[in-house]
A and B are shown apart, each in its own frame.
Chain A
């Protein structure tokens, strides 16, 4: 009999641990390339007078030239100044490096005066201790005049919030047909109720939605399908001027903004819309009262196709959350089990912006999260069985994203070819990053073109708005000039935003506005299927998403060469599906609940 040492039998002291229609026909130039080439051949024939050698030589040269002239890629023009947008973001920075300075801002496209044209809202920072402004910086509302230009209507509309602004979201809280506006701040948030006459009334106090913590992204959704949109507000963490501190950079000794690890997470908040202009905080009852996340990105969507809005949260250096809705407005966190919490290596990432979209046209909305520099952005493909798989590298979104610090994002069809491309707004946190790292504070934004088969390729133009280097944060999407393609509004830190006019989309399109009758009036959460050209595209009306930003609530679908829309099916939140057939293209459609024949 031998004596053995069984160290597993050691007795430990654990006790002290306390783990604790209006048709908008646009220049139809789908065949412009062919027209150009025919023109070249004609000119060439005249010049060479039939000499075959000269003919072929010239043809080669001109073919190369024509390839340059007929650039197949998307083209964006920076029209910010020309459009009359003179807003300049301020963050109050005076060298003390309060972390709030580098997180915002966001902005949005929404039609506040219901004239059919997208207006622009821009969120501003404010003074921090030690900084003074002669006039308090304020948010700005620009009215779309319909001729490609905007005019500042902040004062007359009454939406010039002077809080330390972060982002915004819109929804029709009172189902009166106009869009209301919610602004998140470092400090009390603000709810502007649209009076329907081009003005807003600050209803924050009456509505009871003035959460005073550090609000980040927010979104409206009818979580309990009662016909009124509720409001979700993401809170980043518990930074305050009292617990402010700096974090030293190892090599240079520079004092930097502290990362999220330096602060504690705080709970987000879900406000239930009582239908009478007031809201009730139901965060806990809804199963959402976790303080484990550090939310920056918020997006609602029906990931499991059970007819209710689920919630996905991008968290900064903590695992992302996927809350599945049981149909009554109660949520259960399933991100870990579903495979949407970590990246493929089992690492948490610094989640910033977020979007849902069906990039592979399989009928299920997928997830995309933007992350920090030296991380990839992450694409979670929805397998349709309640689970997700990280397909970032397979989709071609991995390597190219590593050098950038990414924020606002969206799946959208930039070229109207019938699939969803992807835009990512980039910019570093630290203005002096170049002193200790070979990157830059301003960075180039990125556009990934969907090339089919579940893959993207980055489109890198040498000029135009896509080639600009800015310190970008929020990004909003919408066709502000009504020419049938989606434009982009990018909010930049301590500078003007970039209004990027899309001048390159060539395919056909349709833009669908919804009006709920029984369901919430703005149709937020409605799922729309467009059957056209042999393919089916789906999208949902979505408030919020991206990063701190609001995109057009109308749904835009690129139709490529299709000449007719075979069917449109609308799944109304809390209501039945309705179907429309044989619809024409290149137009706006207004679909009213109950209006299908």
Chain B
């Protein structure tokens, strides 16, 4: 199910934000408050919410009447899953400006997180009273009524939502889901297919379709839809659950069991994340707990949240090699390569003999296309771990790129020796030999590759 929308667009400047009550700003502090605010917004944009919160708090201290500060502060708390503080921040915004629709909408979403549906409904209704065109609220309010089993209200709101914007896939999806619960399976399929037409990338819609097909006893169709869902989102646990059920009904028990294990693993990770968050609620300075949370988020594919967890862990324990290394890896995953380099460099500063750090730094440089530095870093890694397969593989690639095929072949040969089934390494070794004019050696590698391919096909 699509998670309730929370408008987490961080206000970047006063002009874009709601009207400010500048009278409450202390004399002489406006400039400082703005500076802290801008810094917070820049940090939030890079996913560094902990530091952003610090900056916003400083800005709020200097200018308590800035709604934009409180609003962004609330959003940053949401990103950290700190809902009680987010609620307080949004309430402060609304105390300053009761017409702030985004803050009220987000406040409602926070109430939903706490299963406080009545207050969420109240806030959402106020949003629509202020702004009848607030499309996100039509969906969110419908969803709350759906959770409460009040399908008449859902119908009314979705009808209005579709009337205002018939291209919003989420309306059709929720309508489909409601039809499913109402046992109107054919109508559910129509609505869900419409949702797919509008947005074919939403795994949850395919999961819903799979569920409908399960109830229609068309298990093959259910399998197909569930596979589409897991193809779109490898972490969509509900999709694995339905897929497992479909496979079971199709008599493919072993496959079903394997898929169910994947579902269970994802579910357990989510449980652990919840446990970890609760633990951190009591002991916010437990850096190990924060790092574990980071790892759990990583396993769920939530890299931004993972990076935030590791960032905070590193802040509490700045000398931890592994926090720095893992944070660097997360920056790499998020495409923030410069920050990755910085973290790896801190790790190597802490321990210059850290082979993993050299290797990962090499990876980051490769991503930045700073190939010479990459080669140096990987060379450092090789010095500490000469037989390492991946280190030699990437060194081979870099030498080959530089036209030094002899050195490339030498490194790739080490990689292939260490892992004979390493298809890519063997393929690139064959090319390197060819470039060097070593045709026989190249043919030999190609023959091995051919054999590997045939065996692979046989296995399939």
Contact = CB atoms under 8 A, between A and B. Distances in A.
Chains A and B belong together in one complex: yes
A339 interface: yes
Interface stretch (A80-88, A243-251, A479-487): A243-251
Contact of A1 (B237, B248, B325, B400): B400
Given A16-B288, A251-B119, A346-B237, A403 B326 contact: no
Contacts, number: 128
A438 interface: yes
Given A3-B397, A251-B119, A399 B366 contact: no
Given A16-B292, A374-B147, 5 more contacts: A252-B116, A337-B257, A346-B242, A374-B117, A399-B182
A437 B332 CA distance: 45
Interface of A: 1-7, 9-17, 19, 248-252, 261-262, 336-337, 339, 342, 344-346, 348, 374, 376, 387, 389, 393-394, 398-400, 402-403, 436-439
A336 B264 contact: yes
B183 A10 contact: no
B264 A1 contact: no
A437 B264 contact: no
A16 B317 CA distance: 14
B257 A261 contact: no
Interface string B92-121: 000000000000000000110111111100
Contacts of B117: 374, 437
Interface of B: 1, 83-84, 87, 110-111, 113-119, 147-149, 151, 181-183, 211, 215, 237-238, 240-242, 245, 248, 257, 260, 263-264, 267, 272, 274-275, 278, 288, 291-292, 295, 298, 321-322, 325-326, 329, 332-333, 356, 359-360, 363, 366-367, 371, 390, 394, 397-398, 400-401, 428, 431-432
Given A393-B183, A437-B116, A250 B84 contact: yes
B260 A337 contact: yes
B181 A438 contact: no
A394 B359 CA distance: 56
26 contacts: A1-B428, A3-B398, A7-B329, A7-B363, A10-B360, A11-B356, A13-B322, A14-B295, A16-B291, A17-B292, A250-B83, A250-B111, A251-B116, A261-B274, A339-B245, A344-B211, A345-B1, A346-B241, A374-B147, A376-B149, A394-B215, A402-B148, A436-B119, A437-B117, A437-B118, A437-B119
B366 A3 contact: yes
5 interchain residue pairs of minimum CB distance: A346-B241, A402-B149, A13-B322, A250-B114, A251-B119
Contact of A403 (B149, B267, B371, B401): B149
Contacts of A394: 183, 215
A262 B281 CA distance: 11
Given A399-B151, A437-B118, A16 B322 contact: yes
A3 B148 CA distance: 54
Contacts of B322: 13, 15-16
Nearest to B1: A345
Nearest to B268: A19
Nearest to A375: B147
Contacts of B288: 16
Contact of B401 (A1, A251, A339, A374): A1
B311 to A, nearest CB: 15
A450 B59 CA distance: 63
B329 A10 contact: yes
B368 to A, nearest CB: 9
A13 B326 contact: yes
A183 to B, nearest CB: 33
Contacts of B110: 250
B329 A12 contact: yes
Contacts of B333: 7, 10
Contacts of A437: 116-119
A342 B244 CA distance: 13
Contacts of A11: 325, 329, 356, 359-360
B87 A436 contact: no
A455 B325 CA distance: 57
Given A9-B390, A11-B359, A402-B148, A3 B329 contact: no
Tell me which of A2, A4, A12 has the highest count of chain B C-beta atoms within 10 A of its own C-beta. Answer: A12
Given A1-B401, A13-B322, A399 B257 contact: no
A342 B390 contact: no
A11 B388 CA distance: 12
Contacts of A250: 83-84, 87, 110-111, 113-114, 116
A389 B84 CA distance: 38
B371 to A, nearest CB: 7
B332 A7 contact: yes
B347 to A, nearest CB: 10
B288 to A, nearest CB: 7
A1 B393 CA distance: 13
B19 to A, nearest CB: 25
Contacts of B366: 3, 5
A3 B403 CA distance: 12
B116 A436 contact: yes
A346 B267 contact: yes
B371 A3 contact: yes
A252 to B, nearest CB: 8
Contacts of B298: 12
Contacts of B215: 394
Contacts of A252: 116, 119
Given A261-B278, A344-B211, A394-B215, A248 B84 contact: yes
Contacts of A4: 397
B397 A1 contact: yes
A422 B242 CA distance: 28
A13 B330 CA distance: 12
A437 B394 CA distance: 60
Contacts of B397: 1, 3-4
A514 B98 CA distance: 70
Contacts of A436: 116, 118-119
Nearest to A383: B249
Contacts of A248: 84
Contacts of A19: 272
B147 A387 contact: no
B100 to A, nearest CB: 17
A14 B182 CA distance: 46
Nearest to B275: A261
A10 B119 contact: no
